[in-house]
Amino acid sequence: MKSYDEIYRYTQKVLDLIEKPGINQEEVEWVKQETLTGFREYVNPGFLEYRKSVTLGALDAAVEWSDAGPNSFRDINGKEYIDCLGGFGIYNVGHRHPKVMKAVTDQLNRQALHSQDLLDPLRAMLMRILAELTPGDLKYSFLVNSGTESVEAALKLARAYNPKKPTIIAATKAFHGKSYGSLAGTAKGVFRRPFMPMLPGVRHVAFNDLDMLRKTMQACKMVGEDVGAVLLEPIQGEGGVNIPDDNYLPGVRQLCDEYGALLIFDEVQTGMGRTGKMFCSEHYDIAPDILCLAKSFGGGIMPAGATVATEKVFSVLFENPFLHTTTFGGNPLACAAAIANINVLIEEKLPERAASMGEYMLKGLREAAKGHVDKIVDVRGKGLLMAMEFVDDNIGFQVSKHMFDNGVLVSGTLVNAQVIRVEPPLTISQEEADKVFDTLALALEKVKQGK
């Protein structure tokens, strides 16, 4: 322990730093040192092994400091990067969109958080907007702070709605978050194994395999463990941007109806325009019974998410709305951000832009990958949710490292680089996209030469 005096002086130093519009060289060195020490001593030294930018021995480049533009950011040394990771899909309207910033600061200047007891108006307004924006009969929402929370709420709703149907089916390669409920749906063994046992009743079937789903639902029914819900990402993000066959999701919808199971779409990553429609399910002309949103839902400014359900499903919470609650979920700042986010998505036609820029980028990335079949096996995507698949982890890591060195951030990390996601803000310019292609081509050239 240190004295309050010393701790106070440190907090004041950091506050002064935050306040500064620019920092000098001495401060830059201090920030780098504090960040490195802090990660090693107080955050988790493991990160220093995994973060690709650190393992390069180029620690200088590894500390981020500010946004540079809507689609780029700057490290502590002032070097700029085009953001093709997009915070794994949180920056759909770009970094610090002025309209979202304004809504949040205006709201902050009036009231930050809600009383918890009175009726908060922005909550009602955002939920009305959501009911009108989302497909099918989706109507009532529960507001949350993160993706994993939106999935938790969905699972609890499904269990309460279908109490006699205890089985929940998820898919292999799925990612739904890491709190216990959502982790039960998440598929990766390494994330689950240390925390067994999982939530009972959750099983996994192969993604994009309708026949396996049908047989599993049949079998569950035969043994009296009926399926109450099927939880899916319409396109799997974290699992490698896996796009199902066109008939898969409509087929799942049909099976759910046949067996009286709820269909939960986790659109935490695919939602809010990412795949070229406001919601990915719209590509297939179907609607889920429960829809999970987060990531870019808060406009890249506020952590925010929502679980939207049909009235029929959501009504299990009518009698006692306190069955499922959260203190911060749907706070006024988050609501202001989410409303501004939807306003911007519509005003700037960003879902359409994701569709056209997605086509442009897919073509450009494929072009850049030409002649490198020995390294890159596939470039795929829908809208601006794209991925490059490499022959192995190591090649993917080399490529992402070179791209990073040349000012383009993509998702490859030391542990998981066989499939690298490319999901820039939907506002990415053609010029920036062109630079990404050139950078990829250059990176592939360098890896070829064994550098």
Ligand X SMILES: *Cc1c(COP(=O)(O)O)cnc(C)c1O
- Applying CB under 6 A, the residues found at the interface with ligand X are 88, 146-148, 151, 175-177, 233, 237-238, 266, 268-269, 294-295
Cα-Cα-Cα-Cα dihedral sign, residues 248, 254, 258, 259: positive
Listed in sequence order, the DSSP H helices in 260-348 are 311-314, 332-347
Q: Which two tokens stand for residue 346?
A: 């519509």
Task: State the nearest-atom distance from the C-beta of 331 to ligand X, in Å.
Answer: 16
- Judged by beta carbon, residue 240 or residue 407, the one nearer ligand X is 240
Rounded to a whole number of angstroms, the minimum distance from the CB of residue 175 to ligand X is 5
For ligand X, give the closer residue by CB, 151 or 441: 151
Do residues 164 and 226 make contact, with C-beta atoms less than 8 angstroms apart?
A: yes
* 3-class secondary structure, 348: coil
Least distance between ligand X and beta carbon 39 (Å):
20
Contact between 396 and 410 under an 8 Å Cβ cutoff? The reply is no
Query: Taking the complex as a whole, how short is the minimal distance between the CB of residue 293 and ligand X, in angstroms?
Result: 10
Query: Distance (Å, rounded) from C-alpha 68 to C-alpha 194?
Result: 40
Q: For ligand X, which residue has the nearest CB?
A: 147
CB of 405 to ligand X, least distance (A): 27
CB of 294 to ligand X, least distance (A): 5
Nearest CB to ligand X, comparing residues 177 and 412: 177
Q: How far is the CB of 6 from ligand X (least distance, A)?
A: 35
Q: Are strands 290-293 and 305-310 parallel, antiparallel or unpaired?
A: antiparallel
**CA–CA distances in Å: residue 19 to residues 13, 15, 16, 124, 405:** 10, 6, 5, 34, 29
What token pair was written down for 342?
């939807």
Please return the burial class of 373, using the count of CB atoms within 10 Å of its CB with bins 0-12, 13-18 and 19+. Answer: exposed
- Whichever of 89 and 351 has its CB closer to ligand X, that residue is 89
| Helix spans in 199-307 (H) | 210-222, 248-259
Between residues 151 and 433, which has the closer beta carbon with respect to ligand X? 151
Q: Cβ closer to ligand X: 88 or 328?
A: 88
Choice between 52 and 274, CB closer to ligand X: 274
Nearer residue to ligand X within complex by CB, 266 or 289 = 266
Smallest gap from Cβ 163 to ligand X, in A, equals: 25
Rounded to an integer, what distance in angstroms lies between the CA atom of residue 154 and that of residue 229?
10
Handedness of CA 199, 201, 206, 210 (dihedral sign): negative
Which value, to the nearest 10 degrees, does the dihedral of the CA atoms of residues 100, 105, 108, 110 take? Answer: -110
